[in-house]
């Protein structure tokens, strides 16, 4: 068993099968050694129930972290498809974390850690990444967090 | 005639000549095989008239889609300059779509499709791309949409 | 003395030593020839005092430009670490500038120039870059500007 697969098992994380692309844009593109993953919404079995909210208004930092973690799970799902299941060849380069928040909210890094910590747990040293975390006015479906990613495949 | 040129003709799309860079930043940079295109504002002949608005407030989804399409035209304009007119060598990797919107607006993907659909129409299979679409608090000149892009040139 | 070092001296710019990474994410990653630098907050000696504000509300364009410039100094600090001090090998590819602003603010490019102009001054021709500048709802610690970057090292 690969080391990433072992870690997913330890964390009791089930990575969903990536949905097929159905529009002009696709969930990921490969450019040279980079896998560029589209902004992931926190869908769980096709639904955003429980993932909708705005930080600084009706959503706590802990709730926001949990949503960021779901986005990261969906990123791993797309990455699994992109590298044909061989996650041990993958290294995270960058996460872009968009936090749906009010004008006076200032704890975006704490929310973004929900995604960063999961990627670091699952991929170990190869999970450390550059990051930008900002507060946005709104997000698709009203979800609390959207995360995009760049990985490198060797 | 190249296949992209034919498609532009079919769509009766005239791609404007890219304005020359005039500041510390430039409209695009080439890094390896990637062309990184700066955030494009929906200028039409140097003006943003009719492109100013906020989704969820005074601007409909259809209006927003039309502005996103203008941004995509300006991206093709810069790309034409970057690859010396040989658009058939280019493949779209990623669009970043910033939608000027109110805190309660949630249809960013529909607006972003105005850019994604045009790129897919013009470039066909080579037009499919990764994407992040988010709602921002505001944009330069008050325009409704800004779009940045990464293409790959072979 | 290298040409970038000379320019830093002329500008009387002291580049701080980059703080060590202390979390799941790190200040920069190297991917092929690219250095991807995390979103930089305008820390000065570990503090954001004087850098907190919102454009269009309690912060002028000149104040915003000054904060963007501090972010660019911190980018050069991380880049110095990434290329072991040999800044003459580096070329700027892209800046992403996030401006903490009200819904009606429209002068994001003027604010972003605080970062772009410094990079162009310090790196000369190799400092010209692609850019996206947008207005965000909020930023970590309430700072007025956050800037991320991609450089290329030869």
Query: CA dist B48 to B52, B81, B97, B141, B153, Å?
Result: 7, 22, 17, 8, 30
Contact B38 C113 (CB under 8 A): no
Q: Is the ipTM of this complex over 0.90?
A: yes
pLDDT of residue A17: 87
Three-class SS of residue C110?
A: helix
Instruction: Using an 8 Å CB-CB cutoff, list chain B residues near C56.
Output: 138
Angle between helices C3-10 and C108-123 (to 10 degrees): 120
- From B81's Cα to the closest Cα of chain A, the distance in A is 21
pLDDT, average across residues C5-14: 89
Q: Does B43 touch chain C (CB under 8 A)?
A: no
Q: Which domains does chain A have, with CATH numbers?
A: 28-153 (3.30.1330.40)
Are the C-beta atoms of residues B74 and B95 closer than 8 Å to each other? Answer: no
8 A C-beta contact, residue C19 and residue C27: yes
Percent of chain C with pLDDT over 70: 98
Q: What is the mean pLDDT of residues C94-120?
A: 97
Residue pLDDT, tens place only, A28-72: 999 999 999 999 999 999 999 999 999 999 999 999 999 999 999
3-state secondary structure of A147: strand
- pLDDT attached to residue B77: 95
**Nearest by Cα to C100 from B25, A133, B95, B55:** A133
For the stretch A112-147, pLDDT in tens is: 999 999 999 999 999 999 999 999 999 999 999 999
**Whole-angstrom distance between the N-terminal and C-terminal Cα of chain B?**
19
A137 interfacial to chain B (CB closer than 8 Å): yes
The answer for residues whose C-beta is within 8 angstroms of residue C113's C-beta and 6 or more apart is: B23, B24, C65, C68
pLDDT value at C45 more than 80: yes
Q: Please say if the pLDDT value at position B23 is more than 80.
A: no
Contact B25, C128 (CB under 8 A): yes
User: pLDDT band at residue B2, thresholds of 50, 70 and 90?
Assistant: confident
pLDDT at B85: 86
Inter-chain CB proximity B29 and C113 less than 8 Å: no
pLDDT band, residue C22 (cuts 50/70/90): low
The answer to whether residues B78 and B125 touch, using CB atoms and an 8 Å cutoff, is: no
| Longest CA span, chain B | 46
B149: chain A residues, CB-CB within 8 Å: none
Residue-level pLDDT at C38: 97
Element (H or E) spanning A134, and its range? strand A130-136
C25: pLDDT strictly greater than 80: yes
For residues A117 and A50, give the distance between their C-alpha atoms in angstroms, rounded to a whole number: 21
Nearest to residue C75, comparing CAs of C87, C65, C63?
Answer: C87
Q: How far apart are the C-alpha atoms of C133 and A31, rounded to whole Å?
A: 24
Spatial contact of B38 and C131, defined as CB atoms under 8 Å apart: yes
By CA distance, what is C145's nearest residue in A?
Answer: A134
Backbone angles phi, psi at A146, to 5 degrees: -130, 140
Say yes or no: B29 contacts chain C, CB-CB below 8 A.
Answer: yes
DSSP code for B126:
G
| Chain A partners within 8 Å of B109 (Cβ) | 140
Which runs of consecutive H residues, i.e. helices, occur in chain C?
A: 3-10, 61-82, 108-123
Task: Please answer whether residues C7 and C90 qualify as being in contact, where contact means their C-beta atoms are separated by less than 8 angstroms.
Answer: no
C-alpha to C-alpha distance for A23 and B117, rounded to whole angstroms? 8
């Amino acid at each position: 068993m690969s080391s990433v697969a072992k870690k997913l098992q330890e964390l009791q994380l089930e990575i969903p099968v990536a949905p097929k692309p159905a529009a002009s844009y696709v969930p990921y593109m490969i450019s040279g050694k980079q896998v560029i993953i589209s902004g992931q919404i926190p869908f769980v079995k096709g639904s955003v129930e429980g993932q909708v909210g705005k930080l600084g208004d009706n959503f706590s930092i802990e709730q926001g972290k949990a949503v960021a973690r779901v986005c990261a799970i969906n990123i791993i799902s797309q990455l699994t498809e992109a590298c044909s299941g061989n996650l041990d060849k993958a290294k995270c380069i960058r996460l872009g974390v968009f936090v749906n928040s009010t004008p006076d909210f200032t704890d975006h890094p704490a929310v973004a850690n929900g995604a960063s910590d999961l990627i670091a747990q699952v991929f170990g040293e190869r999970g450390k990444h550059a990051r930008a975390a900002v507060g946005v006015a709104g997000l698709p479906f009203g979800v609390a967090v959207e995360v995009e990613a760049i990985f490198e495949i060797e």
